[in-house]
Structure 1
Amino acid sequence: MIQFSFETPSPESPWWQKTWDSVYRTEPATIDEMSLRYKYFGVRPRLVVDGVAVMSGESHVPLVDLALSLRFALHRLSSGEDAAIGFTESDRVIHLQQEERVIAITSSDSEWRTTVDSEALKASFVTFVREAHSRLIAHCPELACNASIQKLREIA
């Protein structure tokens, strides 16, 4: 079983003000990809695969960075290649290795290893990226014109 979601900070939170509301002090349509990956839209992602907390939801990560990384990983997995998901704020890497009809998931900073049905994992990535895109556009409709955010719309 796969549970993949993200939690946004509360609007009263300094993290919300710093990473979500700060988009209104810019021209959202022209924010470059690196800024979106590092400065904006902090969330707490949670990915649990068969009881293993691949992403615990304890730390904040930039939503756009994670969604774009998932999009790239999905492309690699769909092409039959192995993939990895990195994080801008740490050296941690989640490795995704193809093994027949399953994908083995490991982390550079943990000893656990789990496997999951390949199609189920890819479907969870698609759902996550679509939800990220939807939440970003709902928060700031001007982001619909941003080239990096448009990449999220172009998911399988």
Structure 2
Amino acid sequence: MKQLVARLWRLIRGPLQWRVLWFAHAKFMVGVTGVVRNDAGQVLLLKHRMWPPEKPWGLPTGYAIKSEEFPLTIVREVKEETGLSVKPGRLVSVTSGYKLRVEVAYEALHTGGTLKIDNFEILEARWFDTNSLPEGMQDSHRRLILGSPSA
């Protein structure tokens, strides 16, 4: 039986194999977060409208769109949410185990632009020193900023 399945698999090469794999495996959304810093080492935090009212502060974040490279997701999301330009840096965290999503986080450096928030999603955007992060901040984002994503 195994040999028959293997032979059949080799015969359906290409797009049909991809369709079979697509239907047979779990689907995930990929959330991408940016630890955006400026030249002074401050971190960009956003007060998110859609997040729980007791913890609205966090890093810029959003979902990757189809065929988008993850570092470019944070470039797009920061631009959409704040009007600022960033250059993505190193990968700092990949977290799985959620029901329908995987979380990816990158460092990013502010490179320019004028702050103009998307007031549909974002209530406020500010630069913070790492030793004076606001109350009401997502714990996972605090850990990313302080350099211990899994702590």
Q: TM-score, normalised by structure 1?
A: 0.24
The structure with higher relative contact order (CA 8 Å, sep 6+) is 2
Q: Kindly indicate which of the two structures has a greater share of residues assigned to strand.
A: 2
Q: Kindly indicate which of the two structures has a greater share of residues assigned to helix.
A: 1
